[in-house]
Amino acid sequence: MRLFGVETEYGITRDDVPEMDPVVESMELVRAHLISSFERRWDYAGEDPHEDARGFRVSGLQQDKEEDEFAQRDAHRPFSFHDMKSDLVLPNGARFYNDHTHPEYSTPECRTLRDLVAQDRAGERIVFRAGQQRNQTLGGMHVRLYKNNTDFHGHSYGCHDNYLVSRSVPFATLAAGLIPFLVSRQVIAGAGKVGTEAQESGYIPGVYQLSQRADFMETELGVDTMYNRPILNTRDEPHADRQKYRRLHLIIGDANLCEYATALKVGTTRLVLELIERGTIPHLELDQPVAAVKQLSRDPDLKAVVRCNDGRRFSALNLQEQYYEAACRGLAGSDEESDWLLHEWGDTLRLLSQDRAQLVGKLDWVTKQWLLETFMREERIGWDDPWLASLDLEYHNVNPEQGLYLGLEAEGKAWRMTTDDMIDAAIRNGPNDTRGGVRGLCVQRFSDQIKSMQWERIQFKGGLRPQHLDMGDLFDPQDVRRCMDAFEQSHSPDGALAVWNHGKDTGR
């Protein structure tokens, strides 16, 4: 079973000051999660965004220039780069940090959709509770947090889904199989958006579209993530054994609140990756993928068609049906989760064309459109009314007393894969069958003995020789559980590593 995870940058505002400093506010929000002083532990040496999956290394990124500009502007600040990042690894194995102007929560690695959705929802609550702590310090409910992708002023921030992929599959094969799927995936995974937007022209009201990220897609392939944003990101940063694995890093996705949409977004992508690895992917090549992303997003009636290089024309639903039918032929009966996905994927495509109202509470763009249209009828306004952008934003508010989606969920109008107890459990612990659970357990038991951490490595303090846990190839669930047992039952990291390394050496 493939591993996956989701990184979400949250929108942040503050209403008690004329101009908010997003760098400081994001840093303070992350630190509000702490009950003790911040200690630098994240190891940035393992991160290198310049490696390109197409087989070369780029000398510079557009975002490097922005980072240099940030460094100049931040020179006056009374804290270092690492203090500003305030990078935390949480007891559930997640990462929570300041991505310069946005708080970001990255789930631990997950093996099942149920775990992924629970861990993603745990992130919403962790971010919200940090906001409550921050507001207590400020003396009022001034900070607001949004799980969305746009500020309606020409800026976009991301929700990235990640997948462990075998390096034996050439990247060109991944790209060819994925791009038409990702262009059309927004019919399932779009968060919905009032108006159009671009960094150059700003916000223009008047339409409703499927996706918040579509406006900001600028090229087909590329290693950058903040400028010239690609449909398929080519960053080659596996956070695993480079000889065996890739990390597919997708930046095209929207941040979803509907649990059903999150499960389908990640689950259907997993199925498509399985088809690519088996060589049974549909042969589709779009003529203009970047234009197609925008064209399909701006047609909520789902009637727009885009052209393939062989002259065939497909709607977004038609493209998804091509992938769905291939998955049914090749993957039916593979496992229980795949069968659930195939059933729900097919049912969703059918309802999108026949009875969309049944998807309220399941797909974000459908749910938001229903809410806004209900409001428009009551208030007798049109899509060009600026009021709607404010309502769009409040759909994504993570405060249960203010968020429009969370209000629907509280009324029982949203489909749930999780329960509140499952989400609370996901806040406390990572999955027990992935290295994310191991990472979280080490934070729980030996936090004061950790020197540094990365996704695939933990270095412990003390001893004549540095002691570290290498998790670059720790993916087999049985191995994960044996590793967790070693750290659960030992009184020190040294003892746990001795047990774990002995077990590996003896094959037990």
In a domain, 84, yes or no: yes
- pLDDT for 156 equals 92
The Cα–Cα gap between 175 and 223 comes to 13
- Domain match, 314 and 381 both: yes
CA-wise closest residue to 105 among 84, 81, 87, 78: 87
- Band of residue 425 on the pLDDT scale cut at 50, 70, 90: very high
- Encoded tokens for 138: 């400020």
Query: Do 475 and 373 fall into the same domain?
Result: no
Do 440 and 368 share a structural domain?
A: no
Q: Is residue 427 part of a domain?
A: no
Last residue of a domain, one of 392, 422, 452: 422
What local confidence, expressed as pLDDT, does residue 57 receive?
Answer: 72
Whether residue 279 sits in one domain with residue 350: yes
Q: Tell me the C-alpha distance between 409 and 393, whole Å.
A: 17
Alpha-carbon span 209 to 169, nearest angstrom: 34
227 domain-assigned: yes
Can you tell me the distance from the alpha carbon of 400 to that of 386, in angstroms, rounded to the nearest whole number? 24
| Domain hosting residue 253, numbered range | 4-422
Residue appearing with tokens 């690895």:
277
Q: For residue 454, give the nearest of 31, 159, 93, 57 by alpha carbon.
A: 93
Rg (CA), the chain: 22
Residue 147's SS3 state is coil
Q: How far apart are the first and last CA of the chain?
A: 22
Residue 182 in tokens: 């990702």
* 162 and 267 belong to one structural domain: yes
What's the structural domain count of the chain? 2
Residue 293 to residue 232: CA distance in whole angstroms = 12
Predicted pLDDT at 503? 76
Neighbours of 194 (CB within 10 A): 29
C-beta neighbour count of 234 within 10 angstroms: 20
Where does residue 6 rank: exposed (0-12), middle (13-18), buried (19+ CB within 10 A)? buried
Strand partners, 208: 194
Local structure of 316: helix, strand or coil = helix
Q: Are residues 396 and 491 in the same domain?
A: no
Task: Give mean pLDDT, residues 407-432.
Answer: 98
Domain membership flag for residue 473: yes
Read off the pLDDT of residues 183-212 as tens digits, 9 standing for 90 and up. Answer: 999 999 999 999 998 766 778 888 999 999
- The string of pLDDT tens digits covering residues 326-369 is 999 999 999 999 999 999 999 999 999 999 999 999 999 999 99
Helix (H, G, I), strand (E, B) or coil at 458: strand
pLDDT for residue 505: 66
Average pLDDT over residues 411-425: 98
446 and 349 share one domain? no
pLDDT value for 299: 97
Residue 60: pLDDT over 80: no
CA distances in angstroms from 421 to 2, 111, 425, listed in the order given: 26, 20, 6
Residues involved in catalysis = 99
| Cα–Cα distance for residue pair 115/94, rounded to 1 Å | 13
Say which residue the tokens 């190839």 belong to.
Answer: 473
Tokens 């203009």 belong to 288
CATH number at residue 161: 3.30.590
Please list the helix, strand and coil fractions of the chain in percent, rounded to the nearest 5, in that order.
45, 20, 35
Q: Which of these three, 374, 394, 422, is where a domain ends?
A: 422
One domain, residues 186 and 141 = yes
Query: Among candidates 42, 32, 50, 36, which has minimal Cα distance to 81?
Result: 42
- What pLDDT band is residue 45 in, cutting at 50, 70 and 90? confident
Whether 225 and 346 share a structural domain: yes
Pairing of strands 230-233, 219-222: parallel
**392 and 84 Cβ atoms separated by less than 8 Å:** no
Residue 154: phi and psi, rounded to 5, are 90, 10
Among residues 401, 422, 443, the one where a domain terminates is 422
Q: Are 151 and 223 in contact (CB under 8 A)?
A: no
Distances (CA, A) of 343 to 207, 331, 337: 32, 12, 10
Q: What average pLDDT is seen over the chain?
A: 93
Choose between 54 and 369: higher pLDDT.
369
Lowest-confidence segment of 214-228, 314-328, 479-493 by average pLDDT? 214-228
Residue 160, both tokens:
């990235």
Look-up of token digits 């240099």:
68
| Model confidence at 393: pLDDT above 70 | yes
Q: Do 414 and 445 fall into the same domain?
A: no
Burial class (CB in 10 A: 0-12, 13-18, 19+), 157: buried
Determine contact, residues 430/437, Cβ cutoff 8 Å.
Answer: yes
Three-state secondary structure readout of 36-102: CCCCCCECHHHCCCCEECCCEECCCCHHHHHHHHHHHHHHHCCCCHHHHHCCEECCCCCEEEECCCC
Average pLDDT score over residue span 6-17: 96
Same domain, 106 and 137: yes
- Spatial contact of 94 and 364, defined as CB atoms under 8 Å apart: no
Residue 429 in domain? no
Same domain, 447 and 470: yes
Q: Are 121 and 373 in contact (CB under 8 A)?
A: no
The answer to the question of residue 428 being in a domain is no
Q: Is residue 48 part of a domain?
A: yes
Q: Backbone phi, then psi, for 26, in 5-degree steps?
A: -65, -40
Tokens of 206: 């008047």
Q: What is the pLDDT of residue 198?
A: 75
In this structure, is residue 292 part of a structural domain?
A: yes
